[in-house]
Amino acid sequence: MNIKEAKEQIKNAMTAYFTKDDLGNYAIPIEKQRPVFLMGPPGVGKTAIMEQVAAEMGVGLLSYSMTHHTRQSALGLPFIVHKNYGGKEFDVSEYTMSEIISAVYDLMENTGVKEGILFLDEINCVSETLAPIMLQFLQYKIFGRHRVPDGWIVVTAGNPPEYNNSVREFDIVTWDRLKRIDVEPDFSAWKEYAYTSGVHASVLTYLEIKKGDFYKVESTVDGKSFITARDWDDLSQMIILYEKNNIKVDEKLICQYIQNKKIAKSFAAYYDLFNKYKSAYQVNDILEGKASEEIRTRAKAAKFDERLSLLGLIIDGCTEAVRAVMDMDGVITLMLPVLREFRLKTARAGADICNEFNNIIDEKRTGLRNGQMSGALSSDDKRKMQMLINELEKTLPEITGKNAAEAFAAAKSAFDNIMKDMKKQAAAAEKKLSNAFIFCEECFKEEQETLILVTEITANAHTAKFISRFGCKEYYKHNKELLFHDRQKEILAQIKELEGEKNDF
């Protein structure tokens, strides 16, 4: 299965493992909860989906790579204790709490999180001396005498032996204690993640044209040649930062991430071409509805690959606009309960207005810190929480020296201003989306590109959320056409199948 399907399987398993009976006990005792084992090639996104799962389910996440662990770090250091059995003294060896189990308890203590995921990567690469201990752990969730706390689910991961020379084959006894999920690279599944995380448009459009370059591992005379999803993601981040700092992105940089010479050279050439398209098409003018006749003429005459690149630039421009709006919308959602809380606190006689507001800010800072430490917040949620704190800090001087009614009015005024700005930006973003569809309508009469635009806007989490929240008339119009087109294809396929059945008689 692909990584998206694997993520849903893990979430389903966690939902089952977290289910409690009428007495408040876990329906499946922790020792009966089979650890999930994600088996897949390197760089396919196994670690990334664990971060997403933890954030989406609001639980903690603690990750460990097992390759560097020894018997002592996993089991704990041995020490001698004196015990009395039947009136006789005995020296008995015990173990200190292992580093891994101790880290779980530390996380619970420091953040207040009670449930979470203990993610152990490269578990099939442990040393020979550690293998028996890992078998005991997989069966009983115990290292030495110390068990994983109730409410913590174990997820493990590893690579198939053809990708890693250090892999130790598990025997049937071990496999019989695991919930195994095999993962394969899949560009379509990764693309949804790429839109959400803001992967550079040049990477997305290049891979849309050359899907075969998404994931490749080859043996050559010079050794292993490879490219993974992780490589594209990491390269994308560097491209964004290089562009931000006006540093030239060239083949030398690309080769540091894309360790396949042919693909690196191909993408370097495409990146240069992509920037030429970006300059030539003036995408901002297109989204503002001011595309010149020269731009329209070029788009109409462009080959399909160039049109795909242009669509990528248009979608990237729309995404940037709607993401800013959705961030502000998220801040407004977080600020509403803050205003209610502030009004209740200031209504009390003798309340220290500034102190109460500072306490609210401190609570939000603590929530952000705990969410970051535990892994229970997504990157989007972290950004919105930080934006909320920034807005509250800007509001603090506005309420200083005022009485309760005036202070609340000042806080409410700051909220209203954010709301007005958000609505203004939302209207501008909706206009950009509409102009994108209008441009495609005018330039691409055969409508193939317009259908692609609808599909990509739907697959893009940022634009999809924006449209569901604020609407877009042009999108709804073309989405109906897409649904009709898909239904038409489905009917034709059914007719063809029926005709085939008739021929069989």
- The per-residue pLDDT for range 241-289, each reduced to its tens digit, is 999 999 999 999 999 999 888 999 999 999 999 999 998 999 999 999 9
Neighbouring residues of 199: CB distance < 8 A, sequence distance ≥ 6: 232, 233, 236
In this structure, the answer to whether residues 126 and 235 fall within a common structural domain is no
pLDDT over threshold 90, residue 423: yes
Distance CA 108, CA 104 (A): 6
Cβ-proximal residues to 151 (8 Å cutoff; 6+ apart), any chain: 18, 26, 114, 115, 116
In sequence order, the 6+-apart residues with CB closer than 8 A to the CB of 5 are 189
pLDDT at 59 over 80: yes
Mean predicted confidence (pLDDT) in 86-110? 75
**pTM: predicted TM-score of the whole model, two decimal places:** 0.79
Of the listed ranges 164-178, 188-202, 277-291, 488-502, the one predicted with least confidence? 488-502
Same-domain pairing of 169 and 197: no
Q: Is residue 436 in a domain?
A: no
Same domain, 18 and 45: yes
At 455, list the tokens. 């599909």
CB 363 within 8 A of CB 41: no
The answer on pLDDT for 501 being more than 60 is: no
Chosen domain end from 184, 205, 229: 184
- Residue 89 forms part of a structural domain: yes
* Count of C-beta atoms within a 10 Å radius of residue 227: 23
CA distances from 327 to 35, 240, 294, 433, 447 (A): 36, 20, 35, 17, 32
309 within some domain: no
Residue 488: predicted pLDDT: 46
Residue 201, pLDDT score: 92
pLDDT score for 351? 73
Tens of pLDDT, residue by residue over 216-234, are 887 766 667 789 999 999 9
Q: Is the pLDDT of residue 79 over 70?
A: no
Per-residue pLDDT, averaged over 453-470, amounts to 89
Model pLDDT, residue 89? 76
Q: Which tokens in the block code for residue 126? A: 């442990």
Which has more pLDDT, 373 or 247? 247
Residues 179 and 48 in one domain: yes
The domain that contains 96 carries what CATH number?
Answer: 3.40.50.300
pLDDT of 481: 57
Q: Do 195 and 155 fall within a single domain?
A: no
Tell me, yes or no, whether 500 lies in a domain. Answer: no
| Residue at a domain's end among 184, 215, 240 | 184
Model pLDDT, residue 139? 77
9 pLDDT more than 60: yes
Q: Does residue 356 share a domain with residue 219?
A: no
pLDDT at 496 over 70: no
Band of residue 305 on the pLDDT scale cut at 50, 70, 90: confident
Q: Is residue 485 part of a domain?
A: no
The verdict on 210 and 172 lying in the same domain is no
Are both 264 and 339 inside the same structural domain?
Answer: no
- Whether 164 and 206 map to the same domain: the answer is no
Over residues 40-48, mean pLDDT: 85
At 146 the pLDDT is 78
Average predicted confidence (pLDDT) for the chain: 84
The pLDDT value given to residue 71: 61
Look up the domain containing 375 and give its range.
Answer: 322-427
User: SS3 for 24?
Assistant: coil
Domain count across the chain: 3
How high is the pLDDT of residue 504? 43
Q: Do residues 345 and 400 both lie within one domain?
A: yes
Q: Which residue has the tokens 């229970």?
A: 376
22 located within any domain: yes
491, part of any domain: no
Same domain, 276 and 387: no
| From 79-93, 113-127, 291-305, the region with the lowest mean pLDDT | 79-93
63-78: b (≥16 Cβ within 10 Å) or e: bbebeebeeebbbbee
Assess whether pLDDT exceeds 80 at residue 495: no
Within-domain flag for 361: yes
Q: Does 147 share its domain with 39?
A: yes
Among 377, 408, 427, give the residue marking a domain's end. 427
409-436: average pLDDT: 93
| pLDDT at position 167 | 67
What is the spatial distance between Cα 401 and Cα 394, in angstroms, rounded to a whole number?
15
pLDDT band at 214 (very low <50, low <70, confident <90, very high): very high
